Amino acid sequence: MSSSTETIQEIADQAYSAGFVTDIESEQLPPGLNEDTVRFISAKKKEPEWLLEWRLDAYQKWLGMVEPTWAHVRYPTIDYQDIIYFSAPKSNADGPKSLDEVDPELLATYEKLGIPLHERAALAGVAVDAVFDSVSVATTFKDRLSDAGVIFCSFSEAVTEHPELVKKYLGSVVPVTDNYFAALNSAVFSDGSFVYIPKGVRCPMELSTYFRINAAKTGQFERTLIIAEEGSHVSYLEGCTAPMRDENQLHAAIVELVAFDNAEIKYSTVQNWYPGDEDGKGGIYNFVTKRGKCAGHHSKISWTQVETGSAITWKYPSCILQGDHSVGEFYSVALSNNMQQADTGTKMIHVGKNTSSTIVSKGISAGKGIQTYRGLVKIMKSAEGARNYTQCDSLLLGDQCRADTVPYVEIRNNTAQLEHEASTSKISDDQLFYLTQRGIDPEDAVNLIINGFCKAVFKELPMEFAVEAQKLLEVSLEGAVG
Amino acid sequence: MLQVNNLHASVEGKAILQGIDLTIPAGEVHAIMGPNGSGKSTLAHVLAGREGYDVTEGTVTYKGEDLLGLAPEERAREGVFLAFQYPVEIPGVSNKLFLKTAVNAIRKHRGEEPLDAYEFLTKLRAILAELGMEEKLVSRELNTGFSGGEKKRNEMLQMALLEPSLAVMDETDSGLDIDALRAVADGVNKLRAHDRSFLVVTHYQRLLEYVVPDVVHVLMDGRIVRSGGHELALELEERGYDWLREEAN
């Protein structure tokens, strides 16, 4: 980890730095959701009949479901008829062949975000499948990846180019009826990313997608599917920023991962959506279903997330450890400042023999933030010799925030070994005084302490992401400690 | 370097310092001795600007300027260093990163360019060698799991790196075995300089055997009741503090 204190000053005075709105003509539906909406989206994307049927089926099931209320979050009722379900930048109609053809204003947006696609991506050796609103507009490094046999493309493209793969795996990890938001996504998902790593291939670069919500009142329904065949390896990075808005924006994404024998998927997220202002006005509602299936023996799925944004976070990246000796990991830093509410954690479902899982959750609450860790460790009867290690730490800044830990454990096999550690702490005056007595700015001192607190998670992130994550926490906690 | 006039300070409404007068010229080592509860540590913390210590009367002038109006980090950048009696553990924070952050915060204040990783490491290694310390100490998490001796050595390392003008040492000798004590004293002696002053707060004489002070002050009930040369420390060692209390009354 590098010293980032030099850069803190630069960002110290900024408000939410990604808060701007790009003016790009959108081709969008009027607000509202019915069967025609679903048909419109499907037609717009020239989808095959089976996918339309799949969507319509999901829509029907969604109609019969109710929004979950068990999470420790409060928000005004969402009017699903007041949401725009499709919006695409018009300039994409002909499809840009290269970055030169991408709307310059869009490129400028990435610049402002610090994502100069063409240069930075190349320097970092990262392929970027940039999702702007609902349609992918630029993809780089495709050649290098295709040489290795890796498929990395937008979800829509995968539907056209690799329908057999999509058909086989879509909904195989997160069923349509898994939950209310999953059903909604299944009906109206717009676009997202698709990754396929063939047998024995180690993906030659880290894959990264920057999601961005832009058009007003546009719900974002991303869909990501990653398949790692036997003996393959992939590291996927996901980062999000969103412009400042007064209205709440709904986001209900689905991520499905499948790892076969000896395959490994590492999925890292740095999430920085607009959290709303200090009074809780605006901000993104983030209801996400992320789940990975360790289908093969000795497979491994690792989730690492740094969650600093959103007004509401409802997210439980999970692993189904089906293959014998498979491994699931969940490393999380979640921050809630001001009026933010986060109910997040994981589920580790042990099915196969000698499966093991690790959960390291670091929750930071500041302002009037509410933070809940909610985790389930389930050991099925078949999971002989399963092991789990869980560590949940909460750090409170100030006296108006709150942190709760809600661990659920279900054991149906008595050979299981489980360890659980939990702590709740505050940044002490002693620690702050010690650091400031060495000339360190109080704000930098807080950042140092928080970075220390999060170290166990940050070290799981790819290097450049770890630095970004540190910056994010610093920006997100500005003014949280006087 | 430091001039303290009629300093009164209280903690949670309780008066602890009750009129301290103290002058430390540049280059001198002054020791503050006194029984438990006499206000030694309070004086050290007031000088460093710790919150919760309220100055109710008096002035502190440092390098000709008012010290009490400055925040702790500003005092540190101006060259006031407090070696803690109980150095604080900060889990997850690398000692090296902490040291580099502190060095560069102070350099910035002085209008100097920050040291990059290589320059910093070079400087750090030179100081480690001079203090006879092992590099592995700086690879660990700040004070976390350090033994008492390691913590105090780490304080000496910080002192050497930050090159303070006024080093206040708060019972640095407490809880140290003789080897660690010598190592710490050795560090202090190497840092003695004509433009650097020390205020060594201690309960016992033994540290002063190794760090020989120019002046010894005895603090009792929040006042300096006697000042003298090194021989005063030896006398206290022999006779204890009670006779001074009786004299003072």
**Confidence band, pLDDT 50/70/90 cuts, at residue A130:** very low
pTM of the model: 0.78
First to last CA, chain B: 32
Q: Smallest Cα–Cα separation from A385: which of A349, A419, A415?
A: A415
Closest residue to B76, CB basis, from A437, A444, A448 = A437
CA angle A121/A122/A128 to nearest 5° reads 35
Distance CA B105, CA B73 (A): 9
Q: Does A148 touch chain B (CB under 8 A)?
A: no
For A176, the token pair is 């349509």
The pLDDT of residue A101 is 56
ipTM for the assembly: 0.96
d(CA A383, CA B35): 64
Q: How many Å separate Cα A387 from the centre of its chain? A: 26
Output Rg (C-alpha) for chain B, integer angstroms: 18
Q: Give me the CATH topology for the region B2-248.
A: Rossmann fold (3.40.50)
The predicted pLDDT at position A184 comes to: 94
Do A106 and A41 contact (CB within 8 A), yes or no? no
Q: Which of A100-109, A151-160, A391-400 is predicted least confidently?
A: A100-109
- Give residue-wise pLDDT tens across range B133-145: 889 999 999 999 9
Q: Which residues sit opposite A80 in a β-bridge?
A: none
* Both structure tokens of B83: 């070696």
Dist CA A93 CA A265 (whole Å):
33
pLDDT at position A23: 47
8 Å CB contact of B93 and A441: no
Q: Tell me: the pLDDT tens digits for A26-47?
A: 567 788 888 888 998 898 888 9
Q: Is residue A372 classed exposed, middle or buried when 0-12, 13-18 and 19+ CB atoms within 10 A define those classes? A: buried
Interface residues on B facing A, Cβ-Cβ cutoff 8 A: 48-52, 71-73, 75-77, 81-82, 84, 87-88, 90-94, 97-98, 100-102, 104-106, 109, 114, 141-142, 158, 162
* CA-based nearest distance A14→chain B, Å: 21
Fill in the amino acid letter for B249: N
- Express each pLDDT in B178-203 by its tens digit: 888 888 898 899 999 999 999 999 98
CA A367 – CA A341 distance, rounded (Å): 11
Q: How many distinct helices (H) and strands (E) make up chain A?
A: 13, 23
Does A182 score more than 90 pLDDT? yes
Q: Where are the domains of chain A?
A: 5-15+25-476
Query: Three-class SS of residue A361?
Result: strand
Question: What's the N-to-C CA distance of chain A in angstroms?
Answer: 26
User: How many Å apart are CA A393 and CA A403, to the nearest integer?
Assistant: 10
Interchain CB distance below 8 Å, A439 and B98: no
Rounded to whole angstroms, the Cα distance separating A155 from A193 reads: 5
Q: Does A435 touch chain B (CB under 8 A)?
A: yes
Residues of B in contact with A470 (CB under 8 A): none
In this complex, which of A429, A448, A456 lies closest to B98 when CB atoms are compared? A448
B100 and A3 within 8 Å at the Cβ level: the answer is: yes
Mean pLDDT of B233-244: 87
List, as one string, the DSSP characters of A399-411. SS-EEEEEEEEEE
DSSP letters for A62-97? HHT------SS---PPP-GGGSB--EEEGGGTT--S
Render pLDDT for A249-263 as a digit per residue (tens, 0 to 9).
Answer: 788 999 999 999 999
Domains of chain B by residue range: 2-248
Q: Give dist(CA A168, CA A293) in Å, integer.
A: 14
Predicted local confidence at residue A102, as pLDDT: 54
Asked if A6 lies within 8 A of B82 by C-beta distance, the reply is no
Confidence label for B227 from pLDDT (cuts 50, 70 and 90): very high
Counting Cα atoms < 13 Å in the Cβ hemisphere of A187 gives 25
What's the angle, vertex CA A192, arms to CA A132 and CA A198, rounded to 5?
A: 135
In the structure encoding, which two tokens stand for residue B203, read together? 């309960």
pLDDT surpassing 50 at residue A8? no
